[in-house]
Amino acid sequence: MFEKILVPLDGSELAEEVLHRVVELSKKLGSTVVLVQAIDSLSQRLVALNGIEPAGAVAANVEAVETAIDAEKDAAEAYLTRMKAHFTSEGLPVETFLGEGHPVEVILDLAEKEGAGLIAMTTHGRGGLGRLVFGSVSDAVLRHSKVPVLLFRSTEK
C-alpha cells in the first residue's frame, strides 16, 4: 500500500524535519522514498516580472531569468542529492525529482505519476489568518490529494 512515500522539500530546515520520521516509516514499511522539490517555471517568473518591470523590459530579461532558473536547478539538484544521503546511508531505496511549476501541482502530479501511496511533509501548523496571509502548500496538498497525506507539525517556534 505504501510502496512509495513522496516527500516534498523546499530547501528549508522546516521541510527537512520530516526526514528522520520518513526514514523510520520507510524501514518499517519497506517503502521507496521519492524526494521532490519544485522551482518556478519560466512563465511564472515572467508573469511576476511583468508586474514589477516596465512594459517591454520583461522580454529583455528573459535570458537573465533563464540563467537564474538554470542556476536554481543546479542548486536544487545538489540539494536533493544531499538529502538523498539520509536514506542511502540507511540502505533505503530513494529517488529524487525536480519539477518546474507551482509546488502543489508538481507534488500532486508526481504523486499520481509515481503511484505514491503516501505524501509525508512538515507543516507550520498555522490556522486562520496565518494560513490566509502566508498560504500553505501543505494545506493545498492535503485538500486536493487523492492519496493519504501525513503532516508533521514543525517543532519550530
Q: How far is CA 127 from CA 61, 76, 136, 149, in A?
A: 38, 29, 10, 17
Q: What is the pLDDT of residues 19-78, one digit of tens each?
A: 999 999 999 999 999 999 998 776 665 666 555 555 555 556 677 777 777 888 899 999
- Considering the domain boundaries, does residue 130 fall inside one? yes
H or E stretch covering 157: none
Please name which of 20, 17, 4 lies closest in space to residue 85, comparing C-alpha atoms: 20
CATH code at position 21: 3.40.50.620
Q: In the structure, what pLDDT confidence band is assigned to residue 131 with cuts at 50, 70 and 90?
A: very low
Number of domains in the chain: 1
- pTM, two decimals, is 0.83
Tell whether 58 is covered by a domain. Answer: no
Side-chain half-sphere exposure of 17, counting CA atoms within 13 A: 13
47 part of a folded domain: no
